[in-house]
Amino acid sequence: MPKYIGKRILISVLSLFMLVTAGFFLTRMMPGSPFQSGNVSEDILKSIEKEYGLDRPVLKQYQVYLKNLLRGDLGVSLKKPDVTVVEVIIRAVPSTAILGLLAILTASVLGTVFGIWQASSKNKVVRGGIFFGAILGTGIPNFVIALLLILLFGVKLKLFPIAGLTDSRNYVLPVLSLAAYPTAVITRLVQNTFCREMEKDYVVMARAKGLGYRRTILTHVLKNAWIPVLNYLGPAAAFLLTGSFAVESIFTIPGLGREFVNSIGNRDYTLILGLTVFMGIVVIGINLLTDLLTAWLDPRVRRTFL
Amino acid sequence: MSLLSVQNLSVQFHDSYAGGETVRDISFNVEPGEIVGIVGESGSGKSTAMQAIMGLLPKRAEVKCQKLILSQEDITPPFSADGKSAVKEEKLYEKKMESIRGRQISMIFQEPLSYLNPTVKIGRQITEVIHAHDKACTRGGARQRAKELLDMVGIRRPAERMRQYSFELSGGMRQRVATAIALACEPRLLIADEPTTALDVTVQGQILQLIKRISKETGTAVLFVSHDLGVIASVCSRVIVMHNGKIVEEGVTDDIFREPRHMYTKELIEKASHLQKLPHSMVSRNPLFVAEHVTKQYPGRINREQTEAVNNVSFYINKGEIYGLVGESGCGKTTLAGMAAGVYQPTKGNILFKGVPLLKMNRQIQMVFQDVQSSLNPKMTIEDILEEPLQLNTKLSSEGRRKKVIETLNLVGLSPKDTEKYPQAFSGGQRQRIAIARALILEPELMICDEPVSSLDISTQEQILELLEQVQIEKQISCLFISHDLNVVKRISQRLGVMYEGVFVESGNTRSIYEDPWHPYTKTLLSAILPPNPKMAKRKRRMWTVKESGGKKLLGEGCPFAPRCGYAMECCYAQSPKTYTFGEREIACFLYSEEYTGKRNDDYKMTSQI
Amino acid sequence: MKAMFRKNPLLTAGLIILILVILLAVLVPVFSPYSYQAQDVDRQNLSSSVSHIFGTDKFGRDIFVRVWYGTRISLLVGLGSTAICGLFGILYGSAAGYAGGKTDLILMRLADIIDAIPSLLYVILITLALGANVGSILLGICISGWIDLARIVRGEVMRLKTREYCIAARMTGATAGRILRRYILPNGAGPVIVNITFMVPKAIFTEAFLSFVGAGISAPAASLGTLIQDARSQMLVYPAQILYPILILCILLLSMNLIGAGVEAGENQSEARMFISFSQGKGYRG
């Protein structure tokens, strides 16, 4: 087990390093500059650039950036220099985190329920319906769903608010938009694995022992069937994070996603890079956790490693 | 009053999906406490019939039964022509069967690994049966009972085992656990569906003893399903013979074997006895293939049980002879076969082919595999499969190749019409013929056959073995014939070697080994063979009991068989025995060394010491 | 045609829709009297009519021709990136799987390192740095779009290379290339094809998403994502302007997902059992 953890951490660190490097050099290559908005004279431009160390050779800047990164200093926003990138992140994380968690929970619960329902229902309409629901969920992009939900519920039916996060009802539409795709994926995953496991021999054995269908077989099968879902949670988190770019912008929620989109519009290098690095860390962290969790839960893996 | 009474049971499958054997109108009874055998080849419907009795078949199986009575309770499965109106009846049937399964009738299956849930602890898999049928039982009570059951089936340290998972146990232990589960609620009838087919021959003996003992002690009746006549002969008091879904004959074991009446029964018994034949003449010494102190170790994997290692093995194969290699699962014979084929290199020692070290694959050495399903590429036609070796190795024209292909097909008994088809169109036996044709088409000097008949029916086995013999004599090809089945090996090979845990324990002339085995392990193997003859089977009361394998031993420190050997001496645990040669017999056992058993006269002719 | 539908309704339906979409995307901009960027101040925000099937936007541009123009971009990105990633993924996965040992270790670790970061981040950075055009979007998607496929190919290759028919082929002198080509890949094609089929809609989604958040194709070019973004400001007043591009985008993606699901069902027998409820499940072994 320790060897396994070690390997994963090494890879994670290397990935982050690659991200930081690629991000740094790519942001430097971006056309346009955050200071070109408005009428600023050449001299003032030059002095601002000097202040931020943007006149030094790129490689030097890179080294400085890395050093600061290790200290936890991601620099300051170029657009609003009195705010550090870290502050921006801290302010924005709660909203995104809550949204993300709600979305994952919704997706897991709904997905599992729908998946089992589809696998076990004798009703062709139910099965077909859930199947097409899943197809729609995987096909329609989350930003489209968000817009459609706004049109439908927010405007026509006026049931839910469509901006900000002031009230708990505000969460409904954004969470639905974010959760749609993962729900669909989990539904298909659960349904598939469920059917596959039900074909397995140990289910025959369970029947031969006289165990009741619903309760006991579900306990046996569900345990094995949920392992692939757990594996999916890692990539799901990544998806939700990137999904938040669009959804937060649409619903004007002050989260990481919206900050990121705005920073792109503003060509705010340090913020773009800082947010990218932070998101990379989050995704890698979650993937690491889910990997370890799955490895630990599956006794076959656990026993061989210990 | 019969315990189980089956009257006119038929099963039919409506779709071709996943196949299914039909059962045609069978009827039989089982009396309390008796062990009844159901014998038949694969496809005869025996397993299907058993599952029908338990009500385990899926909806697409149409089960028709006039009456099915279990100790005076009617458990006839419902049947309706249109399938729809019976929903209520089916629900009732299912509910009734749920309480019967596991409590009055239990079942053990062929492959315990896949039938036990890999992510649930063993203890829990036993206790849940208890809880399911006895709602009043406490957690502690159930655990206690589980421990008793494990003890009854011969598992030591039950408390520890209960906390383990199925993949941590050996095959034999898993089957014992399966038996414990089946016996948890003291059923009246135990259905055993090929329970020992997937086990090693030495373990098979133990499980059979167990079933016999349990039946006697608890008075449970057993319906024992098997394709192996020897097993049936040794365990069952009454036999039912099934063929093509019908019962062709039924009666007391002794009678059936002594005077079979139905044609099919006669055939079956005759074929089984065929394998008792002894091999033909020997060949003079002319080594084609030599293995010298060959060792294969997988570094860092000493704790892993999956990889077989080979330890200091030496033997040779003469030109034109068939050399048999016998051993149970995990003994290293597959690894040895791989090295002989050039698939991997030994870590130590040499393999010489025609006097030259074998460093990579050699066209003169070809192989026939065990798994008939995966030995032919399903995406290539027979013509492609057979032509490719010629395309890659000879300069024959397209005409020439086609001629050679047809010639080889004829040699193995197939017609040229078959070249257009794909492997899936052929039966198991035919596919093996094609595999043999592929091995022969390059006219190799050495053919390695790795369990070539293990997955075939007994009648097909005989055909393939005859074919191999014929081809070998005609083409004078040497052959390394590997099998776990001593019957098969002794029938076809002139000389043989016995392997145990990576080591050659005994080797020599097949006939003499069979008539006079020297090594304790060889003796165990031989005694574990169950002849299809009840008298002989019963005479084997003195079965060489072998202990279940204990902890793993590190290579190189002592004889690997010592933990299970009834004749182990002090020295056996401390050092590895050298190989002692007596004429053409070689044996690795301290019982035959002068050091430990005293000096012998110069002209003393060595014979079995046990 | 009818037979095909009966055998695999999902696949057929998806194919028909997709072919229609492709036809329209190819033909409409050619035959339409309007160019995708011609503005007409007199005809702003018109609703659907015979001459403007989808109406006009706030600059008077014909939405119909812009939508199909955008579809062209989506198709180009989707099919193009899949072709590149598909080829590369198969080669990479075959090499890693067949070689095994150290080579496999290094190759897959490299893939892991690239894969750990969500590809969208890379795509955004690249399009920002190199400009927002189809080329940079393709580049961004291709950076990590092949990794999933490579893993699947590697898995299949490793599963099949120890099959007896592969060993037999080696013993008769077949080279690695031949074995991969004739023995392994044909037998492992199932999951590979399914994966490739889904790569196309994923790429199209990425492009639309990017254009929507402003990091992809930007105005006046007409990607479906940009169209949706453009129409957002007036969404509440002129909902039709945003609904048309959404509709076509969804139809495009759905048709591809249907095809993918159909291929999956065809390859995977157990998927067909999706319509058999579990109470009819196994419990039988011949």
Q: How confident is the model at residue C142 (pLDDT cuts 50, 70, 90)?
A: very high
Q: Is residue A96 part of a domain?
A: yes
Q: Yes or no: say if B199 and B171 are a contact pair by the CB < 8 Å rule.
A: yes
CB contact under 8 A, C246 and A30: no
Which of C165, C186, C286 minimises the CB distance to B375?
A: C165
Which of B101, B168, B181 minimises the CB distance to A207?
A: B101
Q: Which amino acid is at C162?
A: T
Alpha-carbon span B182 to B106, nearest angstrom: 5
**Strand blocks (E) in B205-301:** 221-226, 238-243, 246-252, 287-296
Q: Is residue A25 part of a domain?
A: no
A52 token code pair: 């931020």
Which of B56, B100, B168 minimises the CB distance to A204?
A: B56
Q: How confident is the model at residue A45 (pLDDT cuts 50, 70, 90)?
A: low
Is the CB of B98 inside 8 Å of chain A's CB atoms? Answer: yes
Alpha-carbon span B367 to C200, nearest angstrom: 44
CB contact under 8 A, C174 and B388: yes
Element (H, E) at B23: strand B23-30
| CB count in 10 Å sphere of residue B285 | 10
Is the CB of C177 inside 8 Å of chain B's CB atoms? Answer: no
> What pLDDT shows up at residue C21?
92
B212 token code pair: 């016999």
- Name the B residues in 439-478 with CB < 8 Å from any C CB: 439, 442
Is the pLDDT at A36 greater than 60, yes or no?
no
Q: How confident is the model at residue A298 (pLDDT cuts 50, 70, 90)?
A: confident
List, for chain B, all residue ranges whose pLDDT scores fall below the cut of 70: 15-20, 80-85, 274-283, 299-308, 537-556, 596-605, 610
Is the CB of C43 inside 8 Å of chain B's CB atoms? Answer: no
To the nearest whole Å, the CA of C121 is away from the closest chain A CA by 7
Q: Is residue A188 part of a domain?
A: yes
| Three-class DSSP category at B276 | coil
Which domain, by its residues, includes A182? Answer: 92-266
Q: Is residue A222 part of a domain?
A: yes
**Strand blocks (E) in B277-336:** 287-296, 310-318, 322-326
- If you write DSSP's letter for every residue of B82-121 in order, what string do you get? SSSTTHHHHHHHHHHHHHHBTTTEEEE-S-HHHHS-TTS-
| Three-class DSSP category at C235 | coil
Which of C171, C172, C283 minimises the CB distance to B57?
A: C283
Q: Yes or no: say if C29 and C72 are a contact pair by the CB < 8 Å rule.
A: yes
pTM summary value: 0.83
| pLDDT tens, position by position, B156-201 | 888 888 888 888 888 888 999 999 999 988 899 999 999 988 888 8
Instruction: Report CA torsion sign: C273, C277, C278, C283.
Output: negative
Is the CB of A300 inside 8 Å of chain B's CB atoms? Answer: yes
Q: What percent of chain A has pLDDT over 70?
A: 84
| Three-class DSSP category at B501 | coil
Q: How far is CA C45 from CA B148, C57, C238, in A?
A: 84, 5, 8
Chains that touch A (3 or more CB pairs under 8 A): B, C
CB contact under 8 A, B369 and C169: no
> What pLDDT shows up at residue B280?
62
Q: Is residue A76 part of a domain?
A: no
CB contact under 8 A, B366 and C172: yes
> What pLDDT shows up at residue B177?
92
| pLDDT tens, position by position, A146-177 | 988 888 876 666 666 667 666 767 788 889 99
ipTM comes to 0.82
> What pLDDT shows up at residue B490?
84
Is the CB of B113 inside 8 Å of chain C's CB atoms? Answer: no
CB contact under 8 A, C172 and B58: no
Q: How far is CA A284 from CA A234, A237, A288, in A?
A: 8, 10, 6
Q: Yes or no: say if B93 and B63 are a contact pair by the CB < 8 Å rule.
A: no
What does chain B come to in residues?
A: 610
Domains and CATH numbers, chain C: 2-33+62-269 (1.10.3720.10)
To the nearest whole Å, the CA of A47 is away from the closest chain C CA by 24
Is the pLDDT at C107 greater than 80, yes or no?
yes
| Closest residue of chain B to A208, computed from CA coordinates | B101
| pLDDT tens, position by position, C16-63 | 999 999 999 998 888 888 777 777 777 777 777 777 888 888 888 888
Q: Is residue A246 part of a domain?
A: yes
| Closest residue of chain C to B367, computed from CA coordinates | C168
Chain B residues whose beta carbon lies within 8 Å of the beta carbon of residue A206: 117
Helices vs. strands in chain B: H and E counts, helices first: 22, 22
Is the CB of B302 inside 8 Å of chain C's CB atoms? Answer: no
Q: Yes or no: say if A182 and A109 are a contact pair by the CB < 8 Å rule.
A: no
Number of domains in chain A: 1
B475 token code pair: 């083409």
| Closest residue of chain A to C212, computed from CA coordinates | A246
To the nearest whole Å, the CA of C190 is away from the closest chain B CA by 13
User: Which residues, other chains included, contact C78 with Cβ-Cβ below 8 Å and sequence gap of 6+?
Assistant: C200, C201, C203, C204, C207, C256
Q: How confident is the model at residue C286 (pLDDT cuts 50, 70, 90)?
A: very low
CATH number at residue A208: 1.10.3720.10
| Three-class DSSP category at B32 | coil
Element (H, E) at C112: helix C101-115
- H, E, C per residue of chain A: CHHHHHHHHHHHHHHHHHHHHHHHHHHHHCCCCHHHCCCCCHHHHHHHHHHCCCCCCHHHHHHHHHHHHHCCCCCECCCCCCCEHHHHHHHHHHHHHHHHHHHHHHHHHHHHHHHHHHHHCCCHHHHHHHHHHHHHHHHCCHHHHHHHHHHHHHHHCCCCCCCCCCCHHHHHHHHHHHHHHHHHHHHHHHHHHHHHHHCCHHHHHHHHCCCCHHHHHHHHHHHHHHHHHHHHHHHHHHHHHHHHHHHHHHCCCCCHHHHHHHHHHHCCHHHHHHHHHHHHHHHHHHHHHHHHHHHHHCHHHHHHHC
Which of C168, C183, C284 minimises the CB distance to B367?
A: C168
> What pLDDT shows up at residue B304?
46
> What pLDDT shows up at residue A221?
83
User: Which residues, other chains included, contact A267 with Cβ-Cβ below 8 Å and sequence gap of 6+?
Assistant: A30, A32, A33, A34
C85 token code pair: 């990633």
Q: Is residue A99 part of a domain?
A: yes
Alpha-carbon span C66 to C32, nearest angstrom: 10
The DSSP call for residue C184 is: I
Match 């994923």 to its residue by tokens. C202
CB contact under 8 A, B392 and C172: yes
Neighbour-count burial for C252-272, b at 16+ CB within 10 Å, e otherwise: bbbbbbbbbbbbbbbebeebe
Q: How confident is the model at residue A3 (pLDDT cuts 50, 70, 90)?
A: confident
Per the DSSP assignment, residues forming a β-bridge with B581 are B586
| Closest residue of chain B to A213, computed from CA coordinates | B98
The DSSP call for residue C56 is: B
CB contact under 8 A, A138 and C117: no
For range A79-88, the mean pLDDT: 77
Nearest to B227 by CA among B39, B384, B370, B52: B39
To the nearest whole Å, the CA of A217 is away from the closest chain B CA by 11
Chain C residues whose beta carbon lies within 8 Å of the beta carbon of residue B48: 284, 286
Match 């071709």 to its residue by tokens. B16
CB contact under 8 A, A210 and B132: yes
| Closest residue of chain A to C14, computed from CA coordinates | A135
Alpha-carbon span B476 to B445, nearest angstrom: 8
Chains that touch C (3 or more CB pairs under 8 A): A, B
Alpha-carbon span C68 to B484, nearest angstrom: 68
> What pLDDT shows up at residue C277?
32
B84 token code pair: 């729809």
Chain C residues whose beta carbon lies within 8 Å of the beta carbon of residue B60: 280
Q: Yes or no: say if B369 and C168 are a contact pair by the CB < 8 Å rule.
A: yes
Instruction: Report CA torsion sign: C208, C211, C215, C218.
Output: positive
| Closest residue of chain C to A200, computed from CA coordinates | C282
CB contact under 8 A, C280 and B342: no
Q: Give the residue with greater pLDDT, C75 vs A2.
A: C75
CB contact under 8 A, B132 and A212: yes
Q: Is residue A285 part of a domain?
A: no
